[in-house]
Amino acid sequence: MEQMVKELIKKLSENNISACYVKNRGEALEKVISMIPETSIVGFGDSLTLKQIGVVDRLEQGNYTFLNPWKPGISVEENIKLKKQSLTSDVFVTGTNALTLDGRIVNVDGHGNRVAAMLFGPSKVIIVVGINKIVENLEEALKKIRNKTAPLNVKQHPDLTPMPPCGITGVCNDCSSPWRICNKTVIIEREYNNNKYKPIITVIIVGEELGI
Protein backbone atom coordinates (compact mmCIF):
# COMPACT_ATOMS: atom_id res chain seq x y z
CA MET A 1 0.00 0.00 0.00
CA GLU A 2 2.81 2.40 0.90
CA GLN A 3 4.25 2.19 -2.59
CA MET A 4 0.82 2.70 -4.18
CA VAL A 5 0.16 5.78 -2.06
CA LYS A 6 3.63 7.16 -2.81
CA GLU A 7 3.00 6.83 -6.54
CA LEU A 8 -0.44 8.39 -6.20
CA ILE A 9 0.98 11.38 -4.31
CA LYS A 10 3.56 11.77 -7.07
CA LYS A 11 0.85 11.65 -9.75
CA LEU A 12 -1.24 14.24 -7.91
CA SER A 13 1.78 16.47 -7.54
CA GLU A 14 2.45 16.19 -11.30
CA ASN A 15 -1.14 17.41 -11.71
CA ASN A 16 -0.38 20.40 -9.42
CA ILE A 17 -2.45 18.97 -6.60
CA SER A 18 -0.54 18.77 -3.35
CA ALA A 19 -1.07 15.61 -1.33
CA CYS A 20 0.19 13.91 1.78
CA TYR A 21 -0.33 10.67 3.65
CA VAL A 22 -1.26 10.28 7.30
CA LYS A 23 -1.55 6.97 9.11
CA ASN A 24 -4.89 7.35 10.87
CA ARG A 25 -7.87 9.55 11.64
CA GLY A 26 -6.17 11.21 14.62
CA GLU A 27 -3.30 12.39 12.44
CA ALA A 28 -5.76 13.42 9.74
CA LEU A 29 -7.67 15.60 12.20
CA GLU A 30 -4.53 17.38 13.39
CA LYS A 31 -3.31 17.85 9.81
CA VAL A 32 -6.61 19.43 8.69
CA ILE A 33 -6.80 21.73 11.72
CA SER A 34 -3.16 22.79 11.25
CA MET A 35 -4.07 24.00 7.76
CA ILE A 36 -6.94 26.24 8.87
CA PRO A 37 -5.93 29.54 10.46
CA GLU A 38 -8.06 30.60 13.42
CA THR A 39 -10.89 33.04 12.61
CA SER A 40 -11.15 31.60 9.07
CA ILE A 41 -14.48 31.30 7.33
CA VAL A 42 -14.75 27.57 6.69
CA GLY A 43 -17.09 25.97 4.17
CA PHE A 44 -18.14 22.34 4.37
CA GLY A 45 -19.13 19.78 1.74
CA ASP A 46 -21.22 17.19 3.57
CA SER A 47 -18.77 14.37 4.29
CA LEU A 48 -19.03 11.31 6.47
CA THR A 49 -15.22 11.10 6.43
CA LEU A 50 -14.85 14.54 8.01
CA LYS A 51 -17.43 13.68 10.65
CA GLN A 52 -15.66 10.38 11.41
CA ILE A 53 -12.26 11.99 11.91
CA GLY A 54 -13.70 14.68 14.18
CA VAL A 55 -13.18 17.74 11.97
CA VAL A 56 -16.82 18.83 12.13
CA ASP A 57 -16.86 18.84 15.96
CA ARG A 58 -13.55 20.73 16.13
CA LEU A 59 -14.74 23.36 13.68
CA GLU A 60 -18.04 23.75 15.55
CA GLN A 61 -16.18 24.29 18.82
CA GLY A 62 -13.17 26.28 17.60
CA ASN A 63 -12.53 29.92 16.78
CA TYR A 64 -13.88 29.77 13.22
CA THR A 65 -16.91 30.86 11.30
CA PHE A 66 -18.03 27.38 10.34
CA LEU A 67 -20.60 27.29 7.57
CA ASN A 68 -22.37 24.00 8.16
CA PRO A 69 -25.52 23.68 6.03
CA TRP A 70 -26.38 20.37 7.72
CA LYS A 71 -26.42 21.57 11.31
CA PRO A 72 -29.48 19.99 12.95
CA GLY A 73 -32.56 22.20 12.93
CA ILE A 74 -31.44 24.38 10.04
CA SER A 75 -34.10 25.54 7.56
CA VAL A 76 -33.97 24.91 3.81
CA GLU A 77 -33.44 28.65 3.23
CA GLU A 78 -30.52 28.73 5.67
CA ASN A 79 -29.11 25.53 4.13
CA ILE A 80 -29.00 27.17 0.69
CA LYS A 81 -27.59 30.42 2.10
CA LEU A 82 -24.72 28.58 3.84
CA LYS A 83 -24.00 26.55 0.70
CA LYS A 84 -23.73 29.78 -1.28
CA GLN A 85 -21.50 31.42 1.34
CA SER A 86 -19.23 28.35 1.28
CA LEU A 87 -18.42 29.12 -2.35
CA THR A 88 -16.33 32.09 -1.24
CA SER A 89 -15.03 30.70 2.07
CA ASP A 90 -11.39 31.02 3.15
CA VAL A 91 -11.11 27.25 3.44
CA PHE A 92 -13.44 24.58 2.10
CA VAL A 93 -13.19 21.13 3.70
CA THR A 94 -14.69 18.04 2.18
CA GLY A 95 -14.29 14.37 1.34
CA THR A 96 -14.37 12.86 -2.12
CA ASN A 97 -16.17 9.95 -3.76
CA ALA A 98 -13.08 8.51 -5.43
CA LEU A 99 -9.42 9.10 -6.17
CA THR A 100 -7.91 7.33 -9.16
CA LEU A 101 -4.38 5.98 -9.31
CA ASP A 102 -3.58 8.41 -12.12
CA GLY A 103 -4.42 11.32 -9.83
CA ARG A 104 -8.01 12.29 -10.68
CA ILE A 105 -10.50 13.40 -8.05
CA VAL A 106 -13.97 12.12 -8.95
CA ASN A 107 -17.23 13.31 -7.43
CA VAL A 108 -20.94 13.00 -8.11
CA ASP A 109 -23.32 15.44 -6.43
CA GLY A 110 -27.03 15.86 -6.12
CA HIS A 111 -27.29 19.60 -5.47
CA GLY A 112 -23.83 20.51 -6.78
CA ASN A 113 -22.68 22.78 -3.94
CA ARG A 114 -19.86 20.46 -2.93
CA VAL A 115 -18.36 20.05 -6.41
CA ALA A 116 -18.85 23.76 -7.17
CA ALA A 117 -16.78 24.78 -4.14
CA MET A 118 -14.09 22.24 -5.00
CA LEU A 119 -13.70 23.85 -8.42
CA PHE A 120 -13.48 27.59 -7.77
CA GLY A 121 -14.18 30.16 -5.10
CA PRO A 122 -12.60 29.21 -1.78
CA SER A 123 -8.98 30.27 -1.22
CA LYS A 124 -8.06 26.78 -0.06
CA VAL A 125 -9.70 23.38 -0.54
CA ILE A 126 -8.82 20.47 1.75
CA ILE A 127 -9.98 17.02 0.66
CA VAL A 128 -9.68 14.11 3.10
CA VAL A 129 -9.87 10.61 1.69
CA GLY A 130 -9.63 7.14 3.23
CA ILE A 131 -7.68 4.45 1.37
CA ASN A 132 -10.92 2.67 0.50
CA LYS A 133 -11.72 5.51 -1.94
CA ILE A 134 -8.66 4.83 -4.09
CA VAL A 135 -9.57 3.09 -7.35
CA GLU A 136 -7.71 1.99 -10.45
CA ASN A 137 -9.18 4.37 -13.02
CA LEU A 138 -12.06 6.67 -13.97
CA GLU A 139 -14.28 3.83 -15.20
CA GLU A 140 -13.95 2.04 -11.89
CA ALA A 141 -14.57 5.26 -9.99
CA LEU A 142 -17.84 5.98 -11.78
CA LYS A 143 -19.01 2.38 -11.47
CA LYS A 144 -18.28 2.31 -7.74
CA ILE A 145 -19.98 5.64 -7.10
CA ARG A 146 -23.19 4.61 -8.88
CA ASN A 147 -23.37 1.05 -7.59
CA LYS A 148 -22.04 1.33 -4.08
CA THR A 149 -21.47 4.84 -2.79
CA ALA A 150 -24.71 6.44 -3.95
CA PRO A 151 -27.07 3.63 -2.81
CA LEU A 152 -25.39 3.56 0.62
CA ASN A 153 -25.57 7.33 0.82
CA VAL A 154 -29.26 7.32 -0.01
CA LYS A 155 -29.89 4.68 2.66
CA GLN A 156 -28.29 6.95 5.24
CA HIS A 157 -30.76 9.73 4.44
CA PRO A 158 -34.27 8.52 5.30
CA ASP A 159 -35.31 12.19 5.04
CA LEU A 160 -35.10 11.88 1.23
CA THR A 161 -38.76 11.14 0.57
CA PRO A 162 -39.71 9.58 -1.72
CA MET A 163 -36.46 7.68 -1.41
CA PRO A 164 -34.56 7.07 -4.67
CA PRO A 165 -34.94 3.38 -5.59
CA CYS A 166 -31.31 2.45 -4.91
CA GLY A 167 -31.94 3.20 -1.23
CA ILE A 168 -34.32 0.25 -1.21
CA THR A 169 -32.80 -2.13 -3.77
CA GLY A 170 -29.10 -1.26 -3.30
CA VAL A 171 -28.74 -1.05 -7.08
CA CYS A 172 -28.70 1.98 -9.39
CA ASN A 173 -31.44 2.12 -11.99
CA ASP A 174 -30.57 5.58 -13.33
CA CYS A 175 -33.65 6.98 -11.64
CA SER A 176 -35.51 10.22 -12.15
CA SER A 177 -36.34 10.57 -8.47
CA PRO A 178 -36.83 14.14 -7.18
CA TRP A 179 -34.09 13.26 -4.67
CA ARG A 180 -31.69 11.69 -7.20
CA ILE A 181 -28.22 12.28 -5.74
CA CYS A 182 -26.31 11.60 -8.97
CA ASN A 183 -26.96 14.75 -10.95
CA LYS A 184 -23.59 16.45 -11.36
CA THR A 185 -20.40 14.57 -12.11
CA VAL A 186 -17.09 16.41 -11.76
CA ILE A 187 -13.62 15.09 -12.53
CA ILE A 188 -10.72 17.22 -11.34
CA GLU A 189 -7.73 16.30 -13.46
CA ARG A 190 -5.28 19.05 -12.80
CA GLU A 191 -4.81 22.53 -11.37
CA TYR A 192 -3.32 25.75 -12.72
CA ASN A 193 0.18 26.51 -11.50
CA ASN A 194 1.58 29.57 -13.23
CA ASN A 195 2.75 33.11 -12.56
CA LYS A 196 -0.86 34.25 -11.98
CA TYR A 197 -2.78 31.39 -10.42
CA LYS A 198 -1.61 28.91 -7.82
CA PRO A 199 -3.18 25.56 -6.97
CA ILE A 200 -5.62 25.58 -4.07
CA ILE A 201 -6.33 21.89 -3.49
CA THR A 202 -4.61 19.67 -0.93
CA VAL A 203 -5.51 15.99 -0.66
CA ILE A 204 -4.92 14.21 2.64
CA ILE A 205 -4.85 10.44 2.18
CA VAL A 206 -5.59 8.52 5.38
CA GLY A 207 -4.37 4.94 5.90
CA GLU A 208 -7.79 3.84 7.14
CA GLU A 209 -11.17 3.03 5.64
CA LEU A 210 -13.36 6.12 5.95
CA GLY A 211 -16.69 7.21 4.54
CA ILE A 212 -18.54 5.16 1.95
- Give 67's strand partners: 43
46 vs 59, beta carbon nearer ligand SF4: 46
* 60 CB-contact burial (10 Å; exposed 0-12 / middle 13-18 / buried 19+): exposed
Determine which residue in the list 2, 38, 159, 174 makes contact with ligand SF4, applying CB under 6 A.
174
Determine which residue in the list 45, 95, 130, 164 makes contact with ligand SF4, applying CB under 6 A.
164
The answer to whether 71 touches 105, Cβ cutoff 8 Å, is no
Under the criterion CB under 6 A, does residue 184 sit at the interface with ligand SF4? no
Determine which residue in the list 62, 121, 165, 207 makes contact with ligand SF4, applying CB under 6 A.
165
Under the criterion CB under 6 A, does residue 62 sit at the interface with ligand SF4? no
Q: Looking at this protein, which amino acid is placed at residue 78?
A: E
Stretch that binds ligand SF4, among 28-36, 80-88, 134-142, 164-172 (CB under 6 A): 164-172
Under the criterion CB under 6 A, does residue 85 sit at the interface with ligand SF4? no
Q: CA-CA-CA-CA torsion for 60, 90, 124, 208, nearest 10 degrees?
A: 0
Q: Where is 41: in which H helix or E strand?
A: strand 41-44
Stretch that binds ligand SF4, among 2-10, 96-104, 144-152, 199-207 (CB under 6 A): 144-152
Under the criterion CB under 6 A, does residue 146 sit at the interface with ligand SF4? yes
Distances (CA, A) of 14 to 9, 120, 188: 9, 20, 13
The answer to whether 167 touches 154, Cβ cutoff 8 Å, is yes
150 vs 204, beta carbon nearer ligand SF4: 150
Q: Which ranges in 15-54 belong to alpha helices (H)?
A: 25-34, 48-53
d(CA 148, CA 146): 6
Determine which residue in the list 48, 87, 131, 175 makes contact with ligand SF4, applying CB under 6 A.
175
Tell the smallest beta-carbon distance from residue 144 to ligand SF4 (Å).
11
Under the criterion CB under 6 A, does residue 180 sit at the interface with ligand SF4? yes
Residues that bind ligand SF4 (CB under 6 A): 146, 150-151, 154, 164-166, 172-175, 177, 180-182
